[in-house]
Structure 1
Amino acid sequence: REDPYAIRIAFHVGLDEPVEWIFARDLLSTGIETREGLGDVTVWPSAGSEGGAPGSVLNIELSSPFGQAHFEAPVKEISDFLRKTYQIVPAGKESDHVDVEAELNDLLRQAS
């Protein structure tokens, strides 16, 4: 609820701290159906069976100045996870959980 627009994913890659990526929940949701994303995060379903329906694997590609990674995740588990997030904070209700004025004040304070 603290960050209803975002999905956080952390990878333990042998460093003291995990590598964390934060991206829009909508990116992941749309990526189950079609290729989505520009830049650092791209998500797309595996090729489907006859009829063109999305497949059972979700591809997640991450890139940064430090390297690139390609992950595959089961669409069913990702869909179940997203369904739970939308039960907690329904689509279109994200702003009910974010104090936009406080966030803007924080950004302005950090910029000065």
Structure 2
Amino acid sequence: MNSSGTTASAELGLRLVVPDRTAVPLVARLDYTADDPYAIKVAFHTGEDEPVEWIFARELLTVGIVRPVGEGDVKVWPARGESERTINIALSSPFGQAEFDAPVAPLAEFLHRTYEIVPAGQEGDYIDLDSEIERHLYS
């Protein structure tokens, strides 16, 4: 895991759950920055030239460790009955659906680091709302 005062990144081993087949191991890169304090960028390395990138709400991944959360395109929930604690992540887009499972320990360690960078409830202190509104209105 790499981190600085305003960013954190980590590689997370996970498995693509394929119906009626064994799970396929993958690596995902997680990136967090205080400049976008509510979000975590996850790049799934699928063997293609470019990774598949998704943006997750930090809170969604945090809550998903302990209980089911999410609607629509992203759902996260803790796995039951595993010897190693894992989290399930289901993604849906117009291009298809995918379900992954990942070990909780390295994900929790990464999330802990993000909360050291920007504590829960203080995300708004890291956003210049006026410039964000201006950027979206005039771009």
State the TM-score bracket (shorter-chain normalisation). 0.7 to 0.9
SS of the residue corresponding to residue 91 of structure 1 reads coil
Aligned to 2:112: 83
Q: How many residues align?
A: 105
SS of the residue corresponding to residue 28 of structure 1 reads helix
Aligned to 1:105: 134
Aligned to 1:61: 90
1:72 paired with 2:101, answer yes
Aligned to 2:76: 43
Aligned to 1:22: 55
Larger strand proportion, structure 1 or 2?
2
- Aligned-pair identity (%): 56
User: How far apart, CA to CA, are the structure 2 residues paired with 1:85 and 1:95?
Assistant: 15
Larger helix proportion, structure 1 or 2?
1
Aligned to 1:5: 38
Deviation of 1:96 after TM superposition, in Å, equals 1.2
Q: TM-score scaled to structure 1, two decimals? A: 0.86
User: How far apart, CA to CA, are the structure 2 residues paired with 1:104 and 1:56?
Assistant: 41
Deviation of 1:61 after TM superposition, in Å, equals 0.8
The runs of at least 4 aligned residues of structure 1 exceeding 6 Å deviation read none
Unaligned segments of structure 2, at least 5 residues: 1-33
Deviation of 1:14 after TM superposition, in Å, equals 3.9
- Cα RMSD of the aligned pairs, angstroms, is 1.6
Q: Deviations over 1:82-111 (max 9, x none)?
A: 10000010001111111111111111113x
User: How far apart, CA to CA, are the structure 2 residues paired with 1:75 and 1:95?
Assistant: 27
